[in-house]
Amino acid sequence: MDTATADQVPVIGHDWAIELLKKSLVSERLGHAYLFVGPPGVGKTTLALYLAQAVNCLHPNVAARPCGECASCRRIKTGRHTDVRVLDDLGAAIKIDEIRDIQRESSLAPYEGRRRVYVLCNMERAGHEASNCLLKT
């Protein structure tokens, strides 16, 4: 995937959802959580990471975020940003201990970014206890 510019979202389709997220970013009125649902391969994780880049981008112009060029955008793209955590255990269920770690970490201030972002892939495989624990976050 090439580096995306502010007008080039790395997801094809879902224009209404992308526009909604862009408007929320520009007005700086993002929700505390977003749920991306759909069949495998439609771009849920890609869009979530794009949103994580936009939230933590260092570009001074809010409308131009994510720039794809700043240190924060590059670190998120390569999976090395300290404030962006992706839980994707390919086939394994998300456990309650992982949710508790997220709860503990999310109470701390961001280390290098503007906000902490957690991308929970395959949450439908999480156990009943883990799902309920996440609702209390």
pLDDT of 1 reads 36
Per-residue pLDDT of the chain (137 residues; tens, 9 = 90+): 344 444 566 777 778 888 999 999 999 899 999 999 888 888 899 999 999 999 999 999 998 999 999 999 999 999 999 999 999 877 788 899 999 999 999 999 999 999 999 999 988 888 899 999 998 87
DSSP 57: -
- The answer to whether the beta carbons of residues 12 and 49 sit under 8 Å apart is no
| pLDDT for res 5 | 45
d(CA 60, CA 56): 11
pTM: 0.86
Q: What is the pLDDT of residue 71?
A: 96
pLDDT of residue 2: 40
Q: What is the pLDDT of residue 61?
A: 92
DSSP 8-state secondary structure symbol assigned to residue 70:
S
Residue 3's pLDDT is 41
CA 43, CA 1: separation in Å to the nearest integer? Answer: 12
Query: pLDDT at position 8, please?
Result: 62
Beta strands in the chain (DSSP E): 84-87, 117-120
